Amino acid sequence: MRDGEEIADNAHIAAVAVATPSLSLQQAEAGRYLTERYSRALTSRNLSLMQDLFSNTAIRRRSFALEKPDDLFTEDLDGRIRRFTRWAVDLSAEAIEKALVQTGAACSDVSGLVVNTCTGYICPGISTYLIERLGLDRSIRVYDLVGSGCGGALPNLEVAETLLGRAPGRVVVSASVEVCTATFQMGNDLSLLVSNALFADGAAAAVLWRSKQGLQLIASSSRYAPEDRDAIRYVHKDGQLHNQLSTRLPHLVKKAVARVLRDLLGPRDLRVADIKHWALHTGGEKIINCIRDEIGLSEEQLLPTRAILSAYGNMSSPTVWFVLNNILDNGMDHGDFCVMVAFGAGLSAHAVLLKKA
């Protein structure tokens, strides 16, 4: 879609559902596991820094796609991709089934499926496993999206919306799933230390339909700054993914978010203050605070984002759906606006304007 382009007025999000692994650790407990494992591998300075990162009270708990924590340290590379595949399918299937139940739709009513991830690569993609697991129609239209990082859920939503017109009366599913532990690395690298204190695993799904119930999709915008791609990305080292985060990331993200919101809200004569609800990707505490100060969000508007950061950390692309789900659980009034904002690899920022029907 072009910046700020209108979406068909009868495209609505009917339901949102989320799923996380059963292994949930308090942040301090997760920090102890890593300290015990890597006390000799890290320099004393980085060991102290890691302990400081894990003592940050902005994150209380995170969930991990592991049977037990030690599995993270003992798996080989083949075992890691098997674990990614198993959990990516299990979590996304759970989220999809929960979302469909909310709408009263059956798996046979699904005419389109879009799945995004950035934490593992399998061919054929996750979608084919979901067709089999859920018993979806074998003539369904499916798309697997990769490489969009933490912002991937919103481009996914746009693709899903375009599929709605192909099968009137049926529904389309947008699913985001990340197993960030499938890219776990540790070393004397600030990016890895921060990542290991921030990221977690989870999935989310949204059901779209043409019925004028739920959240109407009004418009969407995207902004890309490829010259800043090295500020947030995966890099390959020895054939494995290593997360790379720049110390300049909060500054770069706040500028990208401000621009994408101008594209989204400006043509509609809306201001930040006119938007009651904000589903802002968690990113991290510094990034949240920088965006707050740059665009003028209140702490009340940030409550859902901070709540999800505290309870789940940053699950990459599904996280923005977790925030929206929190908003829906707390209630929205008819006519309320909501803006979803996600950002990540690219460097990219995406925003979608919603209205409660």
At 201 the three-state DSSP class reads strand
- Look at residue 238 in the predicted model and tell me its pLDDT: 87
Residue 250 resides in a domain: yes
In a domain? residue 255: yes
Last residue of a domain, one of 154, 181, 209: 209
Q: Is the domain of 234 the same as that of 305?
A: yes
| pLDDT computed for residue 121 by the predictor | 94
**Does residue 340 lie in a domain region?**
yes
Q: How far apart are CA 95 and CA 37, in angstroms?
A: 33
Where is the domain boundary, 209, 228, 255?
209
pLDDT above 90 (res 186): yes
Specify the pLDDT at position 7. Answer: 64
**pLDDT at residue number 1:** 38
Contact 337, 354 (CB under 8 A): yes
Contact of 295 with 261, CB cutoff 8 Å? yes
Contact (Cβ atoms closer than 8 angstroms) between residue 342 and residue 350: yes
- Are residues 234 and 28 in contact, defined by beta-carbon separation less than 8 angstroms? no
Percentage of the chain beyond pLDDT 90 is: 94
| 95 within 8 A of 153, measured Cβ to Cβ | no
- Total domains in the chain come to 2
74 within domain boundaries = yes
Same domain, yes or no: 343 and 278 = yes
Residues 250 and 158 in one domain: no
Tokens coding 44? 């004393």
53 and 29, same structural domain? yes
Q: b/e for 103-128, b at 16 or more Cβ within 10 A?
A: bebebebbbbbbbbbbbbebeebbbb
Is residue 3 one of the residues assigned to a domain? no
> Cis link prior to 124 (omega < 30° from 0)?
yes
Domain end, chosen from 180, 209, 238, is at 209
> What mean pLDDT is reported for the chain?
95
Report the pLDDT value the prediction gives residue 352, as an integer from 0 to 100.
98
Whether 83 and 59 map to the same domain: the answer is yes
| E strand segments, 246-285 | 277-280
CATH number of the domain where residue 258 is located: 3.40.47.10
The per-residue pLDDT for 5 is 59
Q: Show the domain range for 240.
A: 214-356
Encode pLDDT of 214-258 as tens digits: 999 999 999 999 999 999 999 999 888 999 999 999 999 999 999
Element (H, E) at 240: strand 240-245
18 and 139 assigned to the same domain? yes
Whether residue 145 is found in the same domain as residue 38: yes
The label of the residue with tokens 């879009």 reads: 114
| pLDDT the model gives residue 167 | 78
- 163 shares a domain with 291: no
pLDDT of residue 10: 80
19 and 147 in a single domain? The answer is yes
- Are residues 192 and 223 part of one domain? no
Residue 260 in any domain: the answer is: yes
Tell me: the pLDDT tens digits for 144-168?
999 999 999 999 999 999 999 887 7
**2-30 pLDDT tens trace:** 455 566 568 999 999 999 999 999 999 99
Question: Do residues 245 and 47 touch, judged by C-beta distance below 8 A?
Answer: no
Based on the domain organization, do 280 and 166 belong to the same domain?
no
Q: Which residues contact 277 (CB under 8 A, 6 or more apart)?
A: 301, 304, 327, 332, 336, 337, 338, 339
Instruction: Clarify whether residues 281 and 245 are in a common domain.
Output: yes
The answer to whether residue 1 is domain-embedded is no
The answer to whether position 66 is within a domain reads: yes
pLDDT in tens, 288-327: 999 999 999 999 999 999 999 999 999 999 999 999 999 9
